Structure 1
């Protein structure tokens, strides 16, 4: 039976063209390298090295069949490396924690993915941090998170998988509108009281900056990170809210009217992102595989 260590020795010898360099690289003595190569030749019943001049001393050059043995050895060693990596990946998936940063509006999107991941990797603990895009970005770069939801567009420091793209809707109490318009411009809301998602979050910034671009400062009466609270405050006629259609589509149309925001249109576009140059763990790879499958539907 051919020894894997013998193939490794043969590959190293061909690549280095030197018994002494091969011995040093493999932490062996020179006689041990010669013995291993000689044993490999006996096992294969062929000469792997060309004979020296007048047959007295062999050069460190492979014969024709030696070259073919070298190519096959490379393939075998590569397959062994892949096998070891797969086994190691499997072991790593039997323990550990996957740290996920979730947008305060985006956690519901991931529920099916969490279930599928747990079915495939039941021994991996899921640890969540709920925060805004800015905080999730910082935590990803500081290695406090493995992956996280970020609003698009993302920085070139990250790779990402798109998750969703929903328009932002203007949410009114239904009884305020005798006729629901097809859309509403941001400028038309200048006299309204705004109930917005929390200060310091990207969605808040986009709305406020959009208002300023239209020439007015929004009258913000309340900020909260809870979309249910925004909805309930609108129902109590405290003001209007701006929420993605992902949420407003579920609201009772007898109580609420949700109208697309235009001029400018603002979209809620989320991604699952991770640092571009970070080596991905098996758990992260498994999670991203689930995400691709779930969000390509």
Structure 2
């Protein structure tokens, strides 16, 4: 297989994973007609229609879905082969593909990376940020070796180890009737409007579970994709939300509106697990294996940040 064949398969993979033709062409620095010809070439070789047009987007046909799985496996094996060669040439200069929750990028991930780079300065990191569904998908697809996520994914193919228990607090608007409180029962806000992450995010599932334990179903007024967006919506008076404690260095108040108060919840165990996950039967390259051990040792031995507790 020559280099052009691999490039064509990577273009197919990008479109198969949901990227538009325009986005894929721009990312690969090719013209859209050239990309279309590449996709046509693959369909001719496969002898079947792999995509169908839905509006302006291309979606995989059932045959295309089967073919895409084999393409993913082939490219994953090829990339791992290249990494294995590089690791053999220089084990301390390997690449660690790592994915993590957006919220962990402000306090947990930086010290873990810097601590490892102190010991292995030539190690490179490829970093991805997602919600929980995206993290699991990247791990299963082979896009990353390790993920830092909240809660056990519950997939038999994935090994997960708890690192920390991170407290969750009830964020309320600065002028809310409860803003002067320090502690609260979650049941006290059963009639409030909640600001939540979209379905598919672990914090959304955790919030809904805790509300059920408190005896109610949250009334959702707004949905977002990032915790700091939710915090901003709460500060603006649009609802309440269960959130990790803010990192004030990266989330300053506007100057005219104070940061939303964050109250300790007393009637339910308001927290979430933070853990490290990897594929159970997939041997990690030396750099990723070393970083996994570094993470497991580091979190046990030092405080991870003002929002986190140690492993129970």
- In the TM superposition, residue 126 of structure 1 has moved relative to its aligned partner by 1.4
Aligned partner of residue 112 in structure 1, secondary structure = helix
Distance 1:228 1:182, change over 3 A: closer
Q: 1:294 aligns with which of 276, 294, 298?
A: 298
Residue 210 of structure 2: aligned partner:
210
Offset, 1:237: 1.0
C-alpha displacement at 1:234, in angstroms? Answer: 1.8
Match of 2:305 in 1: none
- The residue number in structure 2 matching 1:273 is 277
TM value normalised by structure 1: 0.60
Aligned length: 210
Alignment partners' CA distance in 2, 1:242 and 1:166: 12
Q: 1:133 is matched with which residue?
A: 132
Match of 1:175 in 2: 175
2:96 to 88, 98, 101: 98
Aligned with 2:264 (options 255, 260, 263): 260
Task: Give the aligned partner of residue 112 of structure 2.
Answer: 113
1:263 aligned counterpart, secondary structure: coil
Cα gap change, 1:257/1:291 in structure 2, threshold over 3 Å: closer, same or farther?
Answer: same
Structure 1 position 95, deviation (Å): 4.3
* Correspondence for 1:27: none
Indicate if the aligned counterparts of 1:93 and 1:121 stay in contact, CA closer than 8 A: no
Give the equivalent residue in structure 2 for 1:184. 184
Unaligned runs of 5+ in 2: 1-85, 303-312
Aligned-residue offset at 1:161: 4.2
The Cα of 1:271 is off from its aligned counterpart by 0.8
Deviations 1:203-227 (A, max 9, x none): 1022124334555432222222333
Give the direction of change, closer, same or farther, for the CA distance of 1:179–1:195 in structure 2 (3 Å limit).
closer
TM-score by length of 2: 0.58
Q: CA deviation at 1:261?
A: 2.4
2:281 partner SS: coil
Residue 145, structure 1, aligned to residue 144, structure 2: yes
In the alignment, structure 1 segments of 5+ residues that lack a partner are: 1-87
Aligned-residue offset at 1:150: 2.4
Q: Deviations over 1:82-114 (max 9, x none)?
A: xxxxxx966343544211111122222111111
**Is the CA contact 2:100–2:147 (under 8 Å) kept in the aligned structure 1?**
yes
The answer to whether the Cα contact below 8 Å between 1:104 and 1:225 also exists between their aligned partners in 2 is no
Measured after TM superposition, the shift of residue 254 of structure 1 is 5.7
Which structure would you say has the larger Rg? 1
Paired with 1:214 and 1:157, the residues of 2 have a C-alpha distance of: 33
2:69 corresponding residue in structure 1: none
Deviations 1:141-198 (A, max 9, x none): 3322100012233535433443321221001133324774453233221221111223
| DSSP-derived class of the 2:229 partner | helix
